[in-house]
Amino acid sequence: MKILNLGKLPGQQSMLGFHALARLGFEGLVIVSPSVPLVSVGYFQDAEKEVDLDYCNRNGIPVMRREIGGGATYLDGNQIFYQVIWNRENKKFPLKIDKIFEFLSEPPCETYREFGIETSFRSANDIITKDGRKIAGEGGGDIGDSMVFVGGILMDFDYETMSKVLKVPDEKFRDKIYKSMEENLTTMKRELGSIPPRDDIVRVLAEKFEKLLGAFETVTLTPETIDKMVELERWLTSPEFMFRKTPKIPKGVKIKEGVEILYGTYKAKGGLIRTAQEVEKSIIKDIGVSGDFTLYPKKELFALEETLKDTERESSKLKSKIEDFYEETGVQTPGVEPEDITKAIEAGK
């Protein structure tokens, strides 16, 4: 396998790299930090519901949707991202998504321990300290014939800006988010009192991944990869891709007599699930499912939405249909069960 240490790259380029490399058959580890801040939105999220786009525009913070799951987050140079890419047929990696997360979380856990911070993996996709505070969030999914796993070493974190880029109902709620993040999300600086040299962290992180995955060959970005990054930037930041999960029907709009537009949310272990439903006489005529969960293969989300059409909004019928879908497709959603999706639909009002 290969290692590509990209240092710091301007904003979106720090995330575009793994999208391009996955399409080009790269297998190995990428280590990178953004030199310019950005906001990254998870593949299954509704960008307009999760991110305060007006705030980002006013403050010159670019926003892009990535092609893997997880939640919206603020990225800057105080984070060191590890991005592991491999062909989905590579036998070195577990087949189950939940096992992949646990398997590839060990090197960053060991890295934190090397610097004196005791950490462990917490299902479905977090690294936590011995006090139970989150110190890394991770995500993953499929891109073409490749699998991708990403996470970040938090040297420090801008809690204030993160609370401002998230979409909230009012400023009082924003204060709650800020306080909650301060209480539940920690960093190397908070744990140690200072930040170790970035080069030292990168060196240890690479060593720990090499111990797990085997010897690395050091490589650099090729012109082909750079060209692919430029091509993908246009797509990943386009309105067509950015707002792909935004419901077509705004809340509160009456379609016709007997038709309701219902919006539901439910917090599962593996993430928040949102639903937007067009319902006629208790029958789902159309539905959109979004959130910060992980679903593999990602193309199956559309198939799940299609499966739920013309289904009665009754608990046992919904759950049975979703369970059949899981069985037939083999879809994987770590920390999210058919019952959780059922509850997200039933929560619609």
pLDDT score recorded for residue 272: 96
Question: Does residue 253 carry a pLDDT above 60?
Answer: no
pLDDT score recorded for residue 251: 54
Q: Which residue has the higher pLDDT, 258 or 8?
A: 8
- pLDDT tens by residue, 167-220: 998 889 999 999 999 999 999 999 999 999 999 999 999 999 999 999 999 999
Distance CA 129, CA 132 (A): 5
Kind plus residue range of the DSSP H or E element containing 60: none
For the segment 303-330, the average pLDDT, to the nearest whole number, is 97
Beta bridge partners of 5: 31
pLDDT score recorded for residue 169: 87
Give the ranges where the chain is alpha helix by DSSP (H).
13-23, 47-50, 53-58, 97-114, 159-165, 171-184, 188-192, 198-213, 223-236, 239-242, 300-308, 315-329, 338-346
pLDDT score recorded for residue 258: 75
The answer to whether the beta carbons of residues 109 and 119 sit under 8 Å apart is: yes
pLDDT score recorded for residue 196: 98
Query: Mind listing the domains of the chain with CATH numbers?
Result: 2-242 (3.30.930.10), 259-346 (3.30.390.50)
Tokens 């990696």, located at residue = 93
- pLDDT tens by residue, 85-96: 999 999 999 999
pTM of the model as a whole:
0.93
Half-sphere exposure of residue 295, counting CA atoms within 13 Å on the CB side? 26
Query: What strands, in cross-sheet order, belong to the sheet with 63-65?
Result: 63-65, 38-41, 73-75
Question: Does residue 33 carry a pLDDT above 80?
Answer: yes
Q: How confident is the model at residue 324 (pLDDT cuts 50, 70, 90)?
A: very high
The answer to whether the beta carbons of residues 298 and 142 sit under 8 Å apart is: yes
Residue 140 phi, psi (nearest 5)? -165, 175
Q: Lowest-pLDDT range, 154-158, 171-175, 306-310?
A: 171-175
Question: Does residue 62 carry a pLDDT above 70?
Answer: yes
Question: Does residue 283 carry a pLDDT above 80?
Answer: yes
At CA 43, angle to CA 39 and CA 49, rounded to 5? 65
pLDDT score recorded for residue 249: 55
